[in-house]
Structure 1
Amino acid sequence: MKLRNFVAIIGFLVTSLTYCQSKQISLEDIWSGTFRTEGMQALHSMNNGKQYSVLNFDRQNRTATIDIYDYKTLEKVKTLVSSSEIEDIQGFFDYTFSEDETKVVLTTKEIPVFRRSRLGEYYVYDIAENSVVKVSDDLVQEPTLSPDGTKIAYGFENNLYVKDLASGNVEQITTDGEKNKIINGITDWVYEEEFSFVRAFDWNAESNQIAFIRFDETDVPEFSMDVYGSKLYQTQQVFKYPKAGEANSKVSLHLYDLRSKKLQELKVDKSYNDFYIPRIKWTKEANVLSAQYMNRHQNELDLWMINTKSMTSDLVLAEKDKAYVDVTFNLTFLKDNSFIWTSEKDGYNHIYHYSNNGELINQVTDGDWEVTNYYGFNEKSNTIYFQSTENGSINRDVYSIKLNGKNKKRLTKTNGFNNASFSADFTYFINTHSSAMTPPEYTLNNSKTGEVVTSIKDNDKLAKKVGEYITSKKEFSTINVNGNELNMWMVKPADFDPNKKYPLFMYQYSGPGSQQVANRWNGTNDYWYQMLAQQGYIVACVDGRGTGFKGADFKKVTQNELGKYEVEDQIVAAKKIGALPYIDESRIGIWGWSYGGFMSSNALFKGNDVFSMAIAVAPVTSWRFYDTIYTERYMATPQENPSGYDENSPINHVDKLEGDFLLIHGTGDDNVHVQNTMRMVEALIQADKQFEWMIYPDKNHGIYGGNTRLHLYKKMTNFINRTLGDKIEKDSEADTSSKIKG
């Protein structure tokens, strides 16, 4: 076996400092917020390019303020809005400026609908007049100011409305909206979850036209979830959820003209059958709308330009891929309506520049690395700013490059994860940097050179606090598995003894394009792994084939076979790590959540000679139970690919279970339905396989709220100790006994 270190990240404090570290990390520490990082809330760069705004909270006085700071001095210039000075509202916790920054939408109350969608109470604050207007007495969705700041559009009960802020007049744009049938301007469940947006309407530049997507859910099958609550009788949540191979919403594109009061459908010059419209966006021209159309297989993506004055359409770009085409938010129109686009067509995700009619001007970036974020284009200097993995797939750096692809500069100098927020004129950027050894720190940087101008905020207090606890270094390496160099991290006990044998506990997610092995600061699970390490476990994570940021071929190798190559990689990786002299190969466990739960189940069943235990939280147990957009992107439909669905679904391999298995799910999971776990339970029962399981009433896919997370992690920790840690306790007792005898 070859384990090649390509970067050795020393933990926050090296092992030699363990002698002055005395505290053991507890689950209560993790879930009470002991290790919470400080950040910059709702950062917005002002149009003048010299200032930025931040949302600040005074918890003692229970007030919220939007404060303006100077980029150059970092001094607070003024408080723009304070909840204590607005009589009509109690407070706010989020804000959005109008395009001209004359008005601000203040969020005062929100109720979650699904993962991204919210029903809320909103106010529009007029900065010059120091006055507020309530958007609606009802709880509405996605309030969006017109570019000129005179009107606001929003969704309510599946219809679209526009309010004139001066007169207070409300105009209802659509009238056919109906729950579980027709939705106007707000996405349905599957679009929200898988195309990552909720607001399906957009203002044009002149604030006189609104384009929107209409969803006809009539033929989409309904899914229902019991809501147990605290009442005598449970209720039901019923919503449209298209499972793989079933009917999707029928989508159509529409336009409302505020001058003529005319509502009409927009059509393109091509006949589509069973398709998606994953993005719409107005161009720099007030009468030209861009719309992206995608076939159901998601391997063809068409970019259309629709002229709403002449009612004509032009297909300017057609992307095709043997597997699938990724949908992004990176489309950017320049003044001449040429546009910037990102694509994997050369094997890695890169930036391209096209003319307004779709002719390729040039490929801006290229190389065996990925563009991971597009920040924007500075027209004055003809410069694009982006983030990439050029410095290693586990790292992120900020770069600049000319539109012609020349003069590329690395603007961030410190290895780890760097993410930028640029000033409106691109003079400065606020960089957020973290690594496995450094908590998040915020610096003001010069956008031409990348040099740090000054430090804004750090997490030194958190670093000092972590230093009081017994922690171990997170060791990054690669491991050769099935002919591929896979990224890996490992955490060992602080008092690691290479002459001892330790149980191995593996974590992974493994979903297409994902990444868990990354050089960034701890998440809550990382503190849990530190706790487990101090209890005598070695914890490891390997990103196998199908994960992201190593090229399209590496990511898309799992096409039509989700759960085959990823599982093979975890099994082989476990064997290789298990062969190390300090690993007890008879005690290897694995866990994961969601796709990771699908994986851990499969690994335990198919790798029953390697893994002795697994924990699966909210797992997909058969891709037949999951939604159309995600599943069919990678698997086609069950009708087209039945073997791909069935041969790699853990529900069909329960007969192979030999180790210890813990299955966990929330009954209120609208994403991966508890049906997955119920069907798995029944299959295990009929196969006469013993297992453990835990159900969390009314909890969604995140399984949180109140004491829930603490209970969940206690449950998993106890299971790990009982199934993998029994020998640790016996060894510990033996050591203690020998010391007493001595």
Structure 2
Amino acid sequence: MTTEADSFPRRHARTQRFTLGAPRAFTVAPDGSRVTFLRSPSGTDRANCLWVLDLPDGPERVAADPGALLGGAAEQLSPEERARRERSREGGAGIVGYATDAAVESAAFALSGRLFTADLRAGAEAGATRELRVPGPVIDPRPAPDGRHVAYVSGGALRVVEAGGEGDRALAEPESDNVTYGLAEFVAAEEMGRARGFWWAPESDRLLVARVDDTPVNRWWIADPAHPGREPNLVAYPAAGTDNAEVRLFVLGLGGERTEVAWDRARYPYLARVHWSGAGAPLLLVQSRDQRGQVFLAVDPESGATRMVHADEDPVWLELFPGVPCWSPSGQLVRIADEGGARRLAVGERPLTGPQLHIRAVLDVTADDVLVSASAGEEAQSPETGEIHVYRVNELGVERVSQEPGVHSAVRAGGVTVLVSSVLDSPGARVQVLRDGKLTATVRSYAEDPGMSPRVTLTRGGARKIPCAVLMPTDYSGDTPLPVLMDPYGGPHGQRVVAAHNPHLTSQWFADQGFAVVVADGRGTPGHSPAWEKAVRDEVAAVALQDQVDALHSLAGDFPLDLGRVAIRGWSFGGYLAALAALRRPDVFHAAVVGAPVTDMRLYDTHYKERYLGHPDEQPEVYRRNSVIDDAGLVDAAEPHRPMMIIHGLADDNVVVAHSLRLSSALLAAGRPHEVLPLSGVTHMTPQETVAENLLRLQLDFLRRSLSLNAPTGQAG
């Protein structure tokens, strides 16, 4: 019997889901001589240090320790830095990001709003880290490729300073309080996967810099009702159907030269990707607002003129992918494209992969091959449920780098590959350093062992072969039907059915409380096929909910599921899905935990909602039928009315608390039973230890009450 101090909810919260102490953010030197990465000193310490592994057989060494650099003082984060971390879902502390020069000999990072550089070379003195005294608070510092300067953002200005700390100056300063240089706008960081706002030229003599003017964007107030004396936080939030920020791009020379990059911003307002390497001209990917058209543009840095390299159109939408577009060393465009019903890798105009692979990201490009992350495609001979592998692709064929069944990713340079692998039967991730395919080193993880292993079966359910994970109680040995807890995310960009250990831990904890837990990745979720993801267009609610129902009913034939006692829990899209389940299918679902749900489609951001539902002024009916609070079933007086627990962070600036408040008001007006759990000071993440711990316990209590269940004797903590 576990004690309160070492219970799973407590340890899960204290270790940030057992991620603290795990190495991450790897960079390999182009000569293959070293690997840099971030890692906190233990599985309960949030403060990351910057580490270096010298190859071939050198030890791991600390290049920068935030505790020593701050002299034990607490970190001070600016509002801009807090916002950046919220967009990237960064719950760590200390050094949470860094950038290096081209040779990976020096690194720059911000710590408590101050600028630091670290010498990464072998033989550098321990702690060879220095602070550059520059105006703060500093955001996103990045060394020039030659290491002679560092660019950074402070006060909305893009500034540069010499590596020795001299010559600090602004290259571009905001013309008003609504303008920033060098930062990504909200939708780029939240939805496009573009967290950066400036890019160095490979010659280190100039930069491409984004200028963001959010004057046109609606202003919302995020208040903290628990502290009425505090002034609400004013945020620029581009809700669906409203104006986005105006984004322009400039080439800025170190001597003050300034040239604007020209493209048809009226037709293609979204600056989705920027790439600048020695293999070709600066490369942009810009999208139309409806995300059905995009063009790849090469930039002339001297004049700012652009020329089209390639154009794409799609009748549904065009997806954005990590690592592309980019140039191959021979100057060919590397991209990922949905063609012929498959997601393919293309170099130039030639696709190099077929329907057997579903390409997810480009990891590295050399003259010999392209390193990619991919799942098995729909035409693969043996579908691998939940597996993601690393492959080498060239004109001669495809070679799989990762072998063990699981979820794999990689970073590569200089003949060295850092392969990060997670598998079902082992906690955490294993990090192997390979040289020319041979193991040369491993990187240690300090993450805590969860002390439990998921009893999970990966399978597929229903006629559509929906990927599913079914988890049974650890000590369950009978065939007595168990109450069911559906535990999905179930929406775009959120794959939950994966062949890895730690992603299933929370589901297993709920299973050990006496549930059969089902996780289903229905249509709209990634990793299957373009048609699978795009099936939700205009019908997100109906399609996502139907697949949860179909998965549940199909699995009942193979697992001991009590269909008379079915609950559902979820957060964000999963919370939306849980609310839909309780309201639209009370014949199937008997209780719902609704966490941070999007309930009014018009209250979420432009890039996300308009991708799936179109423009609300053009398709108001589509928005109505996909919004929970407009659901006709909400006000239907007919029984049954299923209980809901609605949970929301009051400081959430992504899914604002208005979503839950509007849902609660509509439920109250309809006389429908529900509970509301407001989380003071909590954003869309829940990194606070006590909050994260007690959220699990309170959800369990609600589920037991709602399904009339007794706590099993000797339950796992």
Same fold (TM > 0.5) = yes
Counterparts in 2 of 1:588 and 1:194: CA distance versus 1, 3 Å: same
| Counterpart Cα distance in 2 of 1:445 and 1:160 | 36
CA contact (8 A) 2:49 2:95 kept: no
SS in structure 2 opposite 1:309?
A: coil
For the pair 1:97 / 2:100, whether they are aligned, the reply is yes
CA contact (8 A) 1:341 1:351 kept: yes
Counterparts in 2 of 1:335 and 1:223: CA distance versus 1, 3 Å: same
| Counterpart Cα distance in 1 of 2:295 and 2:680 | 43
For the pair 1:384 / 2:370, whether they are aligned, the reply is yes
Q: Which residue of 1 aligns with 2:326?
A: 332
Q: Deviations over 1:356-379 (max 9, x none)?
A: xxxx2x212222331223221233
Q: Could you tell me which of 168, 184, 188 is aligned with 1:187? A: 184
Could you tell me how far 1:349 is from its partner in structure 2?
A: 2.1
Q: Structure 2 unaligned segments of length 5 or more: list them.
A: 76-93, 377-382
For the pair 1:368 / 2:356, whether they are aligned, the reply is yes
Q: Which residue of 1 aligns with 2:405?
A: 415
Counterparts in 2 of 1:81 and 1:532: CA distance versus 1, 3 Å: closer
Q: Counterpart amino acid of 2:53?
A: Y
For the pair 1:163 / 2:161, whether they are aligned, the reply is yes
Q: Which residue of 2 aligns with 1:661?
A: 644
Q: Which residue of 2 aligns with 1:4?
A: none
SS in structure 2 opposite 1:202?
A: strand
Q: Counterpart amino acid of 1:627?
A: D
CA contact (8 A) 2:100 2:106 kept: yes
Q: Counterpart amino acid of 1:517?
A: V
Could you tell me how far 1:353 is from its partner in structure 2?
A: 0.8
Counterparts in 2 of 1:683 and 1:363: CA distance versus 1, 3 Å: same
Counterparts in 2 of 1:81 and 1:247: CA distance versus 1, 3 Å: closer
Q: Which residue of 2 aligns with 1:8?
A: none
- Taking the TM superposition and a 5 Å limit, the aligned residue runs for 1:243-322 are 243-259=239-255, 261-268=256-263, 270=264, 272-273=266-267, 275-284=269-278, 288-322=281-315
Q: Which residue of 1 aligns with 2:53?
A: 69
Q: Counterpart amino acid of 2:294?
A: L
The 10-residue stretch of structure 1 (713-722 or 651-660) with the greater mean CA deviation from structure 2: 651-660
SS in structure 2 opposite 1:190?
A: helix
| Counterpart Cα distance in 1 of 2:495 and 2:277 | 33
- Taking the TM superposition and a 5 Å limit, the aligned residue runs for 1:451-470 are 452=439, 456-457=443-444, 462=449, 465-466=451-452
CA contact (8 A) 2:160 2:168 kept: yes
Could you tell me how far 1:310 is from its partner in structure 2?
A: 4.4
CA contact (8 A) 1:162 1:173 kept: yes
CA contact (8 A) 1:369 1:549 kept: no
CA contact (8 A) 2:428 2:502 kept: no
Counterparts in 2 of 1:461 and 1:661: CA distance versus 1, 3 Å: closer
CA contact (8 A) 1:205 1:285 kept: no
SS in structure 1 opposite 2:243?
A: coil
Counterparts in 2 of 1:271 and 1:504: CA distance versus 1, 3 Å: closer
Q: Could you tell me which of 17, 24, 27 is aligned with 1:44? A: 27
Q: Counterpart amino acid of 2:95?
A: F
Q: Counterpart amino acid of 2:243?
A: A
| Counterpart Cα distance in 1 of 2:259 and 2:164 | 27
For the pair 1:535 / 2:488, whether they are aligned, the reply is no
CA contact (8 A) 1:579 1:585 kept: no
SS in structure 2 opposite 1:638?
A: coil
SS in structure 1 opposite 2:449?
A: helix
CA contact (8 A) 1:578 1:588 kept: no
Could you tell me how far 1:516 is from its partner in structure 2?
A: 1.0
| Counterpart Cα distance in 2 of 1:225 and 1:389 | 40
Q: Which residue of 2 aligns with 1:714?
A: 697
State the identity %: 20
Q: Which residue of 1 aligns with 2:347?
A: 353
Query: Quick check: which has more Rg, 1 or 2?
Result: 1
| Counterpart Cα distance in 2 of 1:350 and 1:275 | 26
For the pair 1:205 / 2:199, whether they are aligned, the reply is no
Q: Which residue of 2 aligns with 1:396?
A: 388
SS in structure 2 opposite 1:421?
A: strand
Q: Deviations over 1:277-324 (max 9, x none)?
A: 1122224268x3222221100111111112122443211110111111
SS in structure 2 opposite 1:518?
A: coil
Q: Which residue of 2 aligns with 1:114?
A: none
| Counterpart Cα distance in 1 of 2:70 and 2:657 | 45
Q: Which residue of 2 aligns with 1:12?
A: none
Q: Which residue of 1 aligns with 2:523?
A: 545
Counterparts in 2 of 1:253 and 1:336: CA distance versus 1, 3 Å: same
Could you tell me how far 1:558 is from its partner in structure 2?
A: 0.8
CA contact (8 A) 2:132 2:164 kept: no
| Counterpart Cα distance in 2 of 1:612 and 1:89 | 51
Counterparts in 2 of 1:131 and 1:518: CA distance versus 1, 3 Å: closer
Q: What's the C-alpha RMSD, in Å, of the aligned pairs?
A: 3.2
Could you tell me how far 1:665 is from its partner in structure 2?
A: 0.5
| Counterpart Cα distance in 2 of 1:285 and 1:581 | 55
CA contact (8 A) 1:208 1:257 kept: yes
SS in structure 2 opposite 1:669?
A: coil
Q: Which residue of 2 aligns with 1:696?
A: 679
Q: Which residue of 2 aligns with 1:671?
A: 654
Q: Which residue of 2 aligns with 1:6?
A: none
Q: Counterpart amino acid of 1:277?
A: L
CA contact (8 A) 1:35 1:462 kept: no
SS in structure 1 opposite 2:577?
A: helix
Q: Counterpart amino acid of 2:191?
A: E
Could you tell me how far 1:661 is from its partner in structure 2?
A: 0.9
Could you tell me how far 1:103 is from its partner in structure 2?
A: 2.8
SS in structure 2 opposite 1:723?
A: helix
Q: Counterpart amino acid of 1:462?
A: D
Counterparts in 2 of 1:437 and 1:704: CA distance versus 1, 3 Å: same
SS in structure 2 opposite 1:563?
A: helix
Counterparts in 2 of 1:69 and 1:254: CA distance versus 1, 3 Å: closer
For the pair 1:429 / 2:390, whether they are aligned, the reply is no
| Counterpart Cα distance in 2 of 1:84 and 1:655 | 56
Q: Which residue of 1 aligns with 2:498?
A: 518
Q: Structure 1 unaligned segments of length 5 or more: list them.
A: 1-17, 110-119, 355-359, 734-742
Q: How many residues align?
A: 672
| Counterpart Cα distance in 2 of 1:226 and 1:61 | 30
Counterparts in 2 of 1:41 and 1:455: CA distance versus 1, 3 Å: closer
CA contact (8 A) 1:93 1:106 kept: yes
CA contact (8 A) 2:217 2:236 kept: yes
- Taking the TM superposition and a 5 Å limit, the aligned residue runs for 1:550-561 are 550-561=528-539
CA contact (8 A) 2:64 2:129 kept: no
Counterparts in 2 of 1:285 and 1:476: CA distance versus 1, 3 Å: closer
The 10-residue stretch of structure 1 (393-402 or 454-463) with the greater mean CA deviation from structure 2: 454-463
Q: Could you tell me which of 453, 459, 469 is aligned with 1:489? A: 469
| Counterpart Cα distance in 1 of 2:697 and 2:47 | 36
SS in structure 1 opposite 2:172?
A: coil
| Counterpart Cα distance in 1 of 2:590 and 2:568 | 9
Counterparts in 2 of 1:629 and 1:452: CA distance versus 1, 3 Å: same
- Taking the TM superposition and a 5 Å limit, the aligned residue runs for 1:118-197 are 120-125=113-118, 132-166=130-164, 168-179=166-177, 181-197=178-194
CA contact (8 A) 1:24 1:534 kept: no
Q: Counterpart amino acid of 2:387?
A: N
CA contact (8 A) 2:576 2:599 kept: yes
| Counterpart Cα distance in 1 of 2:250 and 2:39 | 39
| Counterpart Cα distance in 2 of 1:82 and 1:584 | 53
Q: Which residue of 2 aligns with 1:15?
A: none
Q: Deviations over 1:169-218 (max 9, x none)?
A: 22222233433x22222122222211223321111122222222222221
